[in-house]
Amino acid sequence: SQKMEYILKEAMEDQGFYEIMNYSFESPKVFEKLNISEDSDLRKAIIISNPLGEDFSVMRTQTLNGMLGSLSTNYNRRNEEAYLYEVGKIYIPKALPLTELPDERSKLTIGMYGKGDFYDLKGVVEVLFEKLGMDDQVEYDLKQDLSWMHPGRCASISINKKEIGYMGEVHPAVAANYDIETRVYVGVIDIPAILENADLERTYKPLPKYPAVSRDIAMLVKDEILVKDIENIIKQRGGKILESYSLFDVYKGKQIQDGYKSIAYSITFRASDRTLTEEEVNKAM
């Protein structure tokens, strides 16, 4: 677990992020600042019996307040951009009042504002999973049930259909609560789930001897069709000769019917033991 945490931190710092450390003690007022609903389990926090004051009177059940506070400090000191990450614990009680020790779970929290956007954040997360040998296992889906995140600009992160985190743009009202007047992007990932699924073993194969065949394909699809679903079909139907694919164009305009978009991919085929024939590639296409 120490080795994994080192790799995780190294991957974040390689991409220009700075580590921060926040208190595990927080104020009960953070639930209002984060727009957390009254019936949310996140409000079931452990109360400190001898707190330093109200601002440090409960154990945190989420890491977002600390991250947004750090981003706010940078923003209000006129730093044009900030890229931060934290490896810290949350404390989830099994019952209140406490009858046994709470569940302490480590979380990786990523926060940024400035030149980057949602896709830059997604790229950071993808590099992280690639370093940990998990990139083929991870799926991203639209997530709309988090009151502190911008609806339509938030994605869940899942492994084997099990959600392990989320990422996206913070709701403007929540950002305003922290005196941040620009778009803020955050991601929260469960570290125990990473430890369970990470794979540091690497398999190497020789450089290809035979040429690749590339084809482009453009399709007209409804707006609600996700790129992820299209790519799943490309992987499924491409078979053993599919080497790679790349999305290179998404277009909506006057030439496209309302409610539709044009999506174009470049697809590469290659066999390790022979030169592919036109018929084989045509069949896959």
pLDDT averaged over the chain? 92
pLDDT reported for residue 264? 96
Q: What is the pLDDT of residue 106?
A: 94
Q: Are 109 and 167 in contact (CB under 8 A)?
A: no
Rounded-to-integer distance, Cα 9 and Cα 85, Å: 9
Q: Locate all alpha helices (DSSP H) within 79-205, ordered by sequence.
A: 118-131, 172-177, 191-197
Q: Which of 86, 88, 228 is nearest to 158 (CA)?
A: 228
Note the pLDDT of residue 152.
86
Distance in angstroms (rounded) separating the CA atoms of residues 251 and 123:
22
Cβ contact 42:63 at 8 Å: no
Q: CA-to-CA distance for 8 and 88, rounded, in angstroms?
A: 13
pLDDT score at 2? 86
Grade residue 151 by pLDDT with cuts at 50, 70 and 90: confident
What's the pTM value of the predicted model, to 2 decimals?
A: 0.83
Q: Of the given ranges (1-5, 15-19, 246-250, 281-285), which has the lowest mean pLDDT?
A: 1-5
Which percentage of the chain shows pLDDT scores above 70? 100
The tally of CA atoms less than 13 A away on the side-chain side of residue 90 is 23
Asked if residues 69 and 186 have their Cβ atoms less than 8 Å apart, the reply is: no
Structure tokens at 163: 């959600």
Tens digits of per-residue pLDDT, 214-260?
999 999 999 989 888 899 999 999 999 999 999 999 999 888 889 99
Q: How far is CA 139 from the centre of its chain?
A: 10
pLDDT surpassing 90 at residue 136: no
Model confidence pLDDT, tens digit, residues 69-108:
999 999 999 999 999 999 999 999 988 888 889 999 999 9
SS3 143: coil
Residue 283: predicted pLDDT: 92
H-only helix segments in 86-149: 118-131
